Amino acid sequence: MSLEHDPDRLVDAHADGDERVIEGALRPERLDEFIGQPRVRAQLGIVLEAARQRGRPADHLLLSGPPGLGKTTLASIVAHEMDAPLRVTSGPALQHAGDLAAVLSSLHPGEVLFVDEVHRTSRAAEEMLYIAMEDFRVDVVIGKGPGATAVPLTIEPFTLVAATTRAGLLPSPLRDRFGFTAHLDFYDPVDLELILDRSARLLRVSVDESGIHEIARRSRGTPRIANRLLRRVRDWAEVHGHPSIDLSTARSALDLYEVDALGLDRLDRAVLDALVRRFGGGPVGLSTLAVAVGEETETVETVAEPFLVRCGFLLRTPRGRVATPAAWEHLGLAYAGSPAQDLLDFPGSE
């Protein structure tokens, strides 16, 4: 249903008790409402339409890519397009085969099961998932020791939509069982502007073209960040008595929230600053870099690094992380060479 004909989906800008509720309300419900990722959208549309024509659940789907690009949204869209219920769980919640068996055995025919962070599922649950995805059954073990008996339990046909930020950690037997695999890339500023325009109308926020452009270019190519920054800029505008968000308003608000002109936030700059000022530009190991900025290794690797690499500020080399000359320039420092210059000339992957 289009936005123009669905006024109930408009969000009260003064009723933000739960940011998760607001974020969910901004998500599109149909594939034709989904902005960006044109190739993935076209491919997924074929998969879903073919399933509808056959009158069967869609093939299992694997969605990979950095956080905030729309994997959860696409899972919800799959359920809406197939007119099926959506069951949501995550890899960390499936640490025992029994956990997964309980979820699978309670599925209704055609239901969509969304497993976020599927790469963090336990090995025992993964092995049960193999059989469930192919044969729609699970083997429940009754008893212990030599007298244990495996009882096959038939489950209803379902569609598994799995999301991961680290597809390389998935074992091949699991990856091979997905009928469709898609990788989501960072968004172009033009697509982010369309997303922000739609979100602003849903939130009933008045924002001009220059304000949307400024928020979009500082959003790291990520819709989730774009929507979050829009809400924070709206807050700043309301507190300071600005009826509409223009270029000046957007810049003032984003500067207050420490989001610079390229979209780097506090963590990004902390990583670059530590790499350049404390370690002379590198190379330095990921764990050492994480300790230096006071963050978890996984946070630095999955949240900060992808964008810094994309900006050309950081290289992942066999010997560690290396800051490029552009990183020194962005920090306002003169680049005077680095012990890692040979790695800059011949970068590899760690």
Q: Would you please indicate which residues are annotated as catalytic (active-site) residues?
A: 71-72, 116, 165, 224
Do residues 120 and 92 make contact, with C-beta atoms less than 8 angstroms apart?
Answer: yes
Do residues 100 and 129 make contact, with C-beta atoms less than 8 angstroms apart?
Answer: yes
**217: nearest Cα among 264, 273, 267:** 264
In whole angstroms, what is the distance from residue 271 CA to residue 298 CA?
13
In whole angstroms, what is the distance from residue 287 CA to residue 285 CA?
6
Type of residue found at 130:
Y
Type of residue found at 347:
P
196 CB neighbour count, 10 Å cutoff: 25
In whole angstroms, what is the distance from residue 39 CA to residue 49 CA?
16
**288: nearest Cα among 302, 275, 299:** 275
Task: Determine the longest span between alpha carbons in the chain, in angstroms.
Answer: 74
DSSP state string for 269-297: HHHHHIIIIITTT--B-HHHHHHHHTS-H
